[in-house]
Amino acid sequence: MTCSGLPHGNSSGINSFGMTILPEATDMPGPGRRQVLAGGGAFLAAPFISRPARAADRDVVIIGAGAAGLAAARALSRRGLSVALIEASGRIGGRAHTESATFGVPFDQGCTFLHNARRNPFVKYARASGFAISSLPPDDATKVYTGAHEASAAQYRAMDRRYRAVHAALLGAGREGRDISMGAAIAQLGRSRWQPLAGFWHSLATGQELEDVSVVDWWNAADGKDYHCRAGYGALVAHFGRGLPVHLSTRAREINWSGSGVKVVTNKGTLRARAAIVTVSLGVLAAEAIRFVPPLPVWKQRAIDGFAMGSYVTIGLQFKQQRVLPVPDNAWFWIDGRPDELLEFMSNMGGWGVSRANAAGHLGLELEGAGRKEAVDFALSRLKSALGPRITRLFARGSFTGWTGNPLTFGTWAMARPGHAGARKLLAEPVGKRIFLAGEACHEDMFATCHGALLSGQTTARHVAHLLKNPL
């Protein structure tokens, strides 16, 4: 989910869901190096169960073993309910995925930053479990290059004025409840030399072009201090989920809720339960990759259609020496340019000798279509334009991850379209008291984050447990 370190929403009026991690998780010992590098491999898959003769095999079927599904499974099990947790891929974690095969060190292909540290349960969990986390460097550690040189003091002041003007216009429109696009909210500002960069900084939080996102939805997003986990956010989520029985490589094809409970048809058989928690991305639901029988109510389908999945791509760049970019470890670096060539870079993440580049919106989609080699070459060409030919000599290897073409996600995170900011509340509303959605998109102000997914999973599990134990 979001990977930008820039402010992207309103920091006031937060309704906290609390920070307590379930006891089953916080009591776990800290990870060893082998467990960390193994990522999602430190858990067991349960045998698949299908018993047609019984009304329900489990109290609840949970579809998707990302942060929301893992949190829901723990919460329900703690409350004495039986759970079947299924996952279409071969690992847990969803869009939080740390891998070490490419560079020989941990590298996050998805969720990267522990946003909103004060309200992020993963911060407390990381510290209790022995993971090294640290806050990102201060803003004055970042640098912007214009051409082959760092921006001048006068240029920095001009950038700052434009950024503040854009941010103020967005905040004003959001505060007033004008459910227009972010692009429309800043249209009255007029032209500026620094408008592309200022707009790019704000689009990073959405994964989309500003014209495609509701300014009210953006304004509703909570803001706060960001942390980085040296072993990888994906490794942290995998550690949180270890020990939970999960049916891996089990794809839900149909959810039949025509009876008193639910029947979940998968590629490995059918599971029956009293209720289902669906934690797959809105991209999967919008693509109708899972069939509902009968179809979801019109109000729920319209709520889903009110969102679009962002494109936020990650390019990993390993060099033959650790510090290549002219900023400290984990600090941002930008190169001014045209809107269609803007990338954000982060230097030497976690001290592992790997930097990263990110693109969002149209450029992200274009790079996904071009492929790994072209994306890596593009990032290197941008660095070379600012730092010179030594970048090419020092380059060792690269990687590329995009989520839009992944049939298990169809994008990174969900943002409301203009005019649809109110749809987010409808996502979390149950259908027939037995179909529940959970995940980052369902949290009221922590959407687009991994911990927002976790909190949504916990909240939904509490709701489901209450309904199942008090059916009338």
With contact defined as beta carbons under 8 Å apart, do 111 and 452 qualify?
no
Q: DSSP letter string over 278-320?
A: E-S-HHHHHTT-SEEESPPPHHHHHHHHTEEE--EEEEEEEES
Angle (CA) 173 174 175, round 5°: 95
The single-letter code of the amino acid at 353 is G
- Cis, bond preceding 294 (omega within 30 deg of 0): yes
With contact defined as beta carbons under 8 Å apart, do 346 and 314 qualify?
no
Query: Using one digit for the tens of pLDDT, what is the confidence trace for 211-254?
Result: 999 999 999 999 999 999 999 999 999 999 999 999 999 999 99
Please list, residue by residue across 325-345, b when 16 or more beta carbons sit within 10 angstroms of its beta carbon and e when fewer do: bebebbbbbbbbbeeeebbbb
Query: Residue 56 has what pLDDT?
Result: 77
CA-to-CA distance for 358 and 353, rounded, in angstroms?
17
With contact defined as beta carbons under 8 Å apart, do 4 and 344 qualify?
yes
With contact defined as beta carbons under 8 Å apart, do 198 and 192 qualify?
yes
Average pLDDT, integer, range 275-295? 98
pLDDT band at 57 (very low <50, low <70, confident <90, very high): confident
Residues near 404 by beta carbon (within 8 Å), at least 6 away in sequence: 283, 309, 311, 364, 365, 368, 410, 411, 412
Question: Looking up tokens 């001290």, which residue turns up?
Answer: 351
H/E stretch holding 400: strand 395-401
CA-to-CA distance for 279 and 440, rounded, in angstroms?
9
Residue 194 scores a pLDDT above 80: yes
Query: Residue 55 has what pLDDT?
Result: 65
Query: Using one digit for the tens of pLDDT, what is the confidence trace for 419-464?
Result: 999 999 999 999 999 999 999 999 999 999 999 999 999 999 999 9
Please list, residue by residue across 81-112, b when 16 or more beta carbons sit within 10 angstroms of its beta carbon and e when fewer do: bebbbbbbbebbbbbbbbbbebbebbbbbbbb
Angle between the N-to-C axes of helices 153-175 and 195-203, in degrees from 0 to 180, rounded to the nearest 10: 50
Angle between the N-to-C axes of helices 372-387 and 361-370, in degrees from 0 to 180, rounded to the nearest 10: 120
pLDDT band at 54 (very low <50, low <70, confident <90, very high): low
Q: How many residues does the chain have?
A: 472
CA-to-CA distance for 268 and 389, rounded, in angstroms?
53
CA-to-CA distance for 36 and 32, rounded, in angstroms?
6
Q: How many CB atoms lie within 10 A of CB 472?
A: 3
Average pLDDT, integer, range 132-158? 96
Q: Tell me the domains of the chain and their CATH numbers.
A: 23-135+228-308+414-469 (3.50.50.60), 139-222+309-401 (3.90.660.10)
Closest alpha carbon to 26 in 283, 236, 226: 236
Query: Using one digit for the tens of pLDDT, what is the confidence trace for 351-362?
Result: 999 999 999 999
Q: What is the 8-class DSSP label of residue 132?
A: -
CA-to-CA distance for 426 and 267, rounded, in angstroms?
30
pTM comes to 0.89
